[in-house]
Structure 1
């Protein structure tokens, strides 16, 4: 009798493990317990990148791809129409509650990136108000960017004629631009501590893809094989990052002037001291982590891809320099130059398209059962947006070729293609978009105004194939920065 009951229970559980929810989108067959995880692992050997697996399956099963990774329902959405629909509907505005995402924020949905609902609304308003109070989006930001560009030029000048590995050359610069507002401090580009912190962030972004990997879908494995699945390293990295942030916050607490806050951390601390107490210590730390990480991977990686494509094509480089010489000359580049520098803007748009470093964006989560197309997306489903496929798919002619002219009309005017969504859309659109675009423009114009970029004779042509991770990055390559002309930039003679 008991054997029959156990057998029936086993059949019920087995059926549940291999059966998808009613009206769930189509996808590859499921395996008990693992779902599609085994298929993903096997296909990685063939396709190399997670986004390529999603792209291949989407072409087979449709623009709304239904998966189960471990015990979690995951839907991959492709195509402009469905990506915009997911990005603009409140029911899909959630952030995943998977272990991988929450372990960086004390197991809670707090901060800017992985919070949702009223918590996200409150935090976003508070942080934006604080940033704008210290010049975010104003001329102050341009001054910060220019300062970092000049420092970068000076550093490259000190290594004239020597091949430089450029994959992390923008890391500290990008942190400084925002961190000066957040913590009232900038670091020397060779600062050992900040370079270590940037390296920690880079390592954390390489331990999984944006779906969260095995830590998300089978988190219990951290008790049995923590080293193998990356849990040990990820926890160590977060511990080190939070040690830095706790020390930074403690320094602010010790020197704070309640009537004259000097930066964002001061303002947030004052908010915490108010009677409302809407902000906790943990929330402040996670907000600082979000702001510290903001751009270190996405903006820095995009800037590196930008250099990669420019150094690979001397015609593009020369045309950029001609526009810089014509529109800027020997004075310092300014953001006001952007309106006149159409080809430079086209190069930036093409960089954002072809690199697509945020290959699936930041995952969404269904806050309730919801219809999408002809399918039902169950509450709690993780949703990945196939941004890489959107930018490198059938809409674009020769998508694998770096061709800035695709963003120019025959008359030489700039085209804003609605298929290009590097910063997302809807309420969750990246709040740092304006800053990121400004940084890329200034990095490019400052560098090409000053240097010719060359591949060392002994090196191969840099590969355009990315390295997989939470964001895509370029494989290591080197550039020789050869000075073009002598001119003055601020107080720096070049």
Structure 2
């Protein structure tokens, strides 16, 4: 009994000291919900994150506030002005990536998305220059996007207007674009290999976004006694890496033609050029991880946005009809659609942008780490603090969007019906950690969407009365699984 009482007293004293220390440290950070012992501020957040969770907290605590995950502070930036200032004015200071458990699993400090310091700077700069090169010149990659859009139209046409689940055909087509980017043109893959690769990418892209997942990320030593890391995710990561390594070996054995070069060929040439520099970060591990980054991020954002696009067209048949009329009158039905055609179809281009704004698939993306002290909107944020820019609060900011909660293409049109760009449109983020393949993503979304809308009218299957546009909240905001009918024109 005495030992039990002593242990209980010790535990209480430990918690009290720990809590007092937390309250003292809290004074250095922006204000926010009062943290409690062990759970921090999670009592205020709730167990399941919703689209407007952080926006509601911002209405109480301001556009810069702190949530405590246990004893770990997480500073949230909310609203367009604050997020834009944090990501652009403090781009370098907010360029770090925390090495949480899942980030180590996914990247282990290699590649582009999950690296820091010299590795990140060299890999990102190189990746940016290569992606630019591949989208310019002979525009081979853009032609591949047009071809994959054509193949997707044919896949939908084979269903002859019967109900279909569009998710896997879309993911398959989008992943083939990334294969073309990675391995060069032309690149052929056996159907079974491509199917397995698509399945592994799909597993990676379904990582959760609950508060439990966040706790596991930030407090792994505590949570790993309760939850083991997702073995499926680990297995899929290794299978994709294995697939990429086999492709790298193939490219080592033969020289690619200039017009068929992919990311691997450019990277191997860079490795050869810098082999005498022992401080260079260009090695096979970074190459493999950079390509895994491109597969995971490049397929997820595009495929999810296209799923929202078709669902929203079903939900708004009047907008779908207006898009189809513009496409028919301005582009016709004979030639392939290219990205440059956006200038001829301003309403359609506005719809593509509004789909991205309204679906808002990335709430805040991967967490960032301040690598230096910062002062954002008058709030001091210490070095080595986890920072989350709430992109939802930007794309749904009532101070900048006329009808933020409604699907309204007029957000991107002037009074004459011309397309108008908006600086508040930040679906790809901003600053030094912005989406590396933003231009490729824009091309894919436009070409895939317009190719499908020109070929089909999308509608609910017979007997289905309602369209569910509520998102499944996770690391990416996905629509609930659905089926639709692609009725040929």
Whether TM exceeds 0.5 here: the answer is: yes
Most deviating of 94-103 and 204-213: 204-213
| CA deviation map 1:349-374 (0-9, x unaligned) | 11111011111133321112222233
Paired position in structure 2 for 1:129: 129
- In the alignment, does 2:362 pair up with 1:355? no
Aligned residues: 473
- Residue 122 of structure 1: SS of its match in structure 2? helix
Please list every run of 5 or more consecutive structure 1 residues that lacks an aligned counterpart in the other structure: 485-494
Paired position in structure 2 for 1:241: 240
Paired position in structure 1 for 2:155: 155
| CA deviation map 1:238-273 (0-9, x unaligned) | 222222222222333344579998422123223334
Residue 447 (structure 1) aligned to one of 449, 452, 460: 452
Most deviating of 184-193 and 21-30: 184-193
Change (3 A) 1:231 1:390: same
Paired position in structure 1 for 2:470: 465
Paired position in structure 2 for 1:68: 68
Paired position in structure 1 for 2:342: 338
8 Å CA contact 1:252, 1:265 repeated in 2: yes
| CA deviation map 1:15-73 (0-9, x unaligned) | 12344433411211212233234544x342xxxx3443212211111111201213422
Most deviating of 183-192 and 414-423: 183-192
Measured on the aligned residues, the alpha-carbon RMSD in Å equals: 2.8
- Distance in structure 2 (CA, Å) of the matches to 1:469 and 1:354: 16
8 Å CA contact 1:67, 1:75 repeated in 2: yes
| CA deviation map 1:291-329 (0-9, x unaligned) | 111321111111111111111121111111110111111
Paired position in structure 1 for 2:35: 30
- Distance in structure 2 (CA, Å) of the matches to 1:192 and 1:432: 27
- Distance in structure 1 (CA, Å) of the matches to 2:460 and 2:14: 65
Paired position in structure 1 for 2:413: 408
Paired position in structure 2 for 1:100: 102
Most deviating of 130-139 and 455-464: 130-139
Change (3 A) 1:327 1:6: closer
- In the alignment, does 2:15 pair up with 1:15? no
Paired position in structure 2 for 1:488: none
Q: How many angstroms does 1:218 deviate by?
A: 1.5
Question: 1:287-366, aligned counterparts within 5 Å?
Answer: 287-332=290-335, 333-366=337-370
- Distance in structure 2 (CA, Å) of the matches to 1:6 and 1:294: 44
Change (3 A) 1:302 1:137: farther
- Distance in structure 2 (CA, Å) of the matches to 1:220 and 1:439: 41
- Distance in structure 2 (CA, Å) of the matches to 1:36 and 1:131: 42
8 Å CA contact 1:452, 1:483 repeated in 2: yes
| CA deviation map 1:384-405 (0-9, x unaligned) | 1111122123232332221112
Most deviating of 85-94 and 315-324: 85-94
Change (3 A) 1:328 1:6: closer
